[in-house]
Structure 1
């Protein structure tokens, strides 16, 4: 169960507090059985889940103005979803070098948002060229339900869309991998093709999730990892692609999101201390509705942990190290949070 409470932190009148309480419950079970021998492996399983969502709030009549009056009490839900999945996977060793994996999943969704059935096959092939080099390819169908919040929740900045439909699509990828124990290199090409893509748009200044008729993205991904010594590992990688969608089947294709991303990280582990620095730079961004350029975004995070005694670890997390003010989404609705520091103590029983 996940409960979120949002009181008003910008208090002008202590007797006039904006508040919100969201309650999202998830229950479920997953049962599976595996049979295998030298060449074959079979997995069969069944998954069931139940989701419940309710949101209660009172918002300011004038958005962001903590001195204004409160709107009347509002309640969204309860809304419910029951999901049932039957899945199976068959692994076959065709030779000493080649493995094939065929998997299938049938999802049955029964919810207040509608009833849906989705058959999701996937095929994977892996061929070893030698002990350090291999080729792979996979193709599979995807399915994604909209969230209750996207369907039913409204506020001063968000507009609900109860007509939102699930997203269906196909994903294809093929690539090369090298791994000699110290260095790993991966090069891959990919293509994504979606129907009824769940994305966002502006409606009278509000953000609303909606279904774009089509979405496609074709690109290349490269990554390189080097274990510099027994304590230090460095990774660098990048993605270049051309994401596009069309709002209706007859509309023209338009650019969305960003064209490239460059990532790097360095990880340190020694005795009782670990640290990780991650940087991600995304450029070639475009405003989805206006088709204008959007400033690149740089995400920077540092995590440090030290075991101070058995089962207890002291941690420090710094997000947005350079204190940048970047738009988190190309449509320009939200900015990144300023530099934040989080000190914690984790204890494992």
Structure 2
């Protein structure tokens, strides 16, 4: 997962506003990805988001908002066994969804899903289990919301880490969270307290059938207490808050470490008298008990020409603190660096939005000047790779998103991003870091409705990396509506069997298919 060319450590993931960052490594960011049936919407902030969300929102943030629980006027319990799926590489999956209502006093939903496969090549099999629980407890004013999730993944990691020749790697991960939140205050002054906990566990085995050769086990815990406040005025709004967190890791490789973080943030939004021009200056201050204090200001400006056209611009400073892997990891070829400094960047963006009944269009130009980028370097071939703050990296880019509503049920969506990276390195003979992001990325999606029951989506994905290697992948998704709350689907991915690679030269799957039934509660 990345935004505008950043790495997996530089994008922050949230679930209902709760941060899901992993202090061991950003590799585990998506371990708590929710089934689509639970998701109401996905909010994406591109560019600097540190003044809003704090550390690690270096290139942006993604907030997954779960669906609200339905309210019933009677006691009720329902269970739905659904989503049987079958596909290439012996893919198989299902989902069990249940919900309970005790009139207006208590509502809850519990979901379990499982997916597994033999893998698309040697030692890429996987088995994933996921649990999700959400409840609302009725109070005199606003409900108390309790949510939690747990996932366990077991998978062969052929070439995922180390080098492509390491074909027998294996990994098991666990991730879980538990959170409680509510809404307090009055119409003009709102308080949103959140208390939540995230846990991670990662077991890595270099040779799957012989763990004694090399094995790592990491366990992480992080507890957050977040108070956010909103004061509403006639033509402005003040948001401010405090975020406290305590994190710890216990690892046979990285050691045992603790960190306490205090963050203060504020953002003030106001408009001119004609409501055309808006300003939103803000700042964030964070102190890390084992590192230092950082101050990050930013500002957003918007101008409405009319109801259809909006111009916007923003400026911000952002940062990412090193993960514990960056700081302390050690093996026969690599060594961490406990003296690493956080990565810093200054970002600027200017853009335009246009919208009418049939067209939605957004386009922007952005720059990011990064310093202290963490790289793994060495001076001779005999030395180990060592994590070092060595690079400055300037990134310029352009992106656009276009939606054309051909008719009420047919549409064409297009998204394009162009990136140009310029790196500055001195006094280094060997560098592991290679700028090989997607310089050109074009995604198109054509949605067609053939009848009241049949819909078809055609997807095209084009990418060209900085080294000029490119790929074009075509996917197809055909749906047949079985009822108001269920449909049968056939997905065919990589229709023309394109050969292409992801990070670390990992080959992606060739042509494959998946069929199944998706069902929702009413």
Give the CA deviation at 1:189: 1.2
Match of 1:263 in 2: 443
Match of 1:106 in 2: 285
User: Hey, what's the Cα distance between the residues in 1 that align with 2:316 and 2:417?
Assistant: 21
Match of 1:195 in 2: 371
Is 2:417 the partner of 1:239? yes
User: Hey, what's the Cα distance between the residues in 1 that align with 2:227 and 2:236?
Assistant: 21
1:97-149, Cα deviation, whole Å (9 max, x unpaired) = 111111111011123xxx12111111111111111111011000001111112
> Given the superposition, is the C-alpha separation of residues 79 and 266 from structure 1 closer, same or farther in structure 2, using an over 3 Å criterion?
farther
Match of 1:96 in 2: 275
Match of 1:64 in 2: none
> Given the superposition, is the C-alpha separation of residues 117 and 179 from structure 1 closer, same or farther in structure 2, using an over 3 Å criterion?
same
Verify the 8 A CA contact 2:222 2:245 in the aligned structure 1. Answer: yes
Aligned residues: 314
Is 2:452 the partner of 1:281? no
Match of 2:355 in 1: 179
Q: Quick one: which of 391, 412, 429 aligns to 1:213?
A: 391
Verify the 8 A CA contact 2:377 2:428 in the aligned structure 1. Answer: no
User: Hey, what's the Cα distance between the residues in 2 that align with 1:313 and 1:306?
Assistant: 5
User: Hey, what's the Cα distance between the residues in 2 that align with 1:146 and 1:316?
Assistant: 42
Match of 1:161 in 2: 337
Larger RCO (CA within 8 A; separation ≥ 6): 2
Give the TM-score normalised by structure 1. 0.72
Match of 1:135 in 2: 311
Give the CA deviation at 1:4: 2.6
Match of 1:328 in 2: 502
User: Hey, what's the Cα distance between the residues in 2 that align with 1:117 and 1:343?
Assistant: 52
Is 2:271 the partner of 1:54? no
Verify the 8 A CA contact 1:26 1:51 in the aligned structure 2. Answer: yes
1:233-267, Cα deviation, whole Å (9 max, x unpaired) = 4321222232111124999xx99334322222356
Match of 1:126 in 2: 302
User: Hey, what's the Cα distance between the residues in 2 that align with 1:103 and 1:302?
Assistant: 44
Verify the 8 A CA contact 2:502 2:508 in the aligned structure 1. Answer: no
Give the CA deviation at 1:34: 0.8
Instruction: Mark the runs of 5 or more structure 2 residues left unpaired by the alignment.
Output: 1-198
Is 2:179 the partner of 1:5? no
User: Hey, what's the Cα distance between the residues in 1 that align with 2:324 and 2:452?
Assistant: 45
Verify the 8 A CA contact 1:243 1:255 in the aligned structure 2. Answer: no
User: Hey, what's the Cα distance between the residues in 2 that align with 1:143 and 1:121?
Assistant: 11
Name the SS for the 2:502 alignment partner.
coil
Give the CA deviation at 1:275: 8.3
Give the CA deviation at 1:296: 2.2
User: Hey, what's the Cα distance between the residues in 1 that align with 2:346 and 2:265?
Assistant: 18
Name the SS for the 1:38 alignment partner.
coil
Is 2:396 the partner of 1:225? no
Is 2:278 the partner of 1:82? no
Is 2:227 the partner of 1:31? yes
Give the CA deviation at 1:311: 9.5
User: Hey, what's the Cα distance between the residues in 2 that align with 1:158 and 1:301?
Assistant: 39
User: Hey, what's the Cα distance between the residues in 2 that align with 1:280 and 1:51?
Assistant: 39
User: Hey, what's the Cα distance between the residues in 1 that align with 2:488 and 2:337?
Assistant: 43
Name the SS for the 1:243 alignment partner.
strand
RMSD: 4.1
User: Hey, what's the Cα distance between the residues in 2 that align with 1:223 and 1:235?
Assistant: 8
Give the CA deviation at 1:150: 2.2
Verify the 8 A CA contact 1:214 1:249 in the aligned structure 2. Answer: no
Give the TM-score normalised by structure 2. 0.51
Q: Map residues 53-72 of structure 1 onto 2, 5 A cutoff.
A: 53-56=249-252
Q: Quick one: which of 454, 458, 469 aligns to 1:295?
A: 469
Mean Cα displacement is larger for which, 198-207 or 151-160?
198-207
> Given the superposition, is the C-alpha separation of residues 148 and 337 from structure 1 closer, same or farther in structure 2, using an over 3 Å criterion?
farther
> Given the superposition, is the C-alpha separation of residues 31 and 191 from structure 1 closer, same or farther in structure 2, using an over 3 Å criterion?
same
Give the CA deviation at 1:192: 0.7
User: Hey, what's the Cα distance between the residues in 1 that align with 2:265 and 2:217?
Assistant: 36
Verify the 8 A CA contact 1:150 1:208 in the aligned structure 2. Answer: no
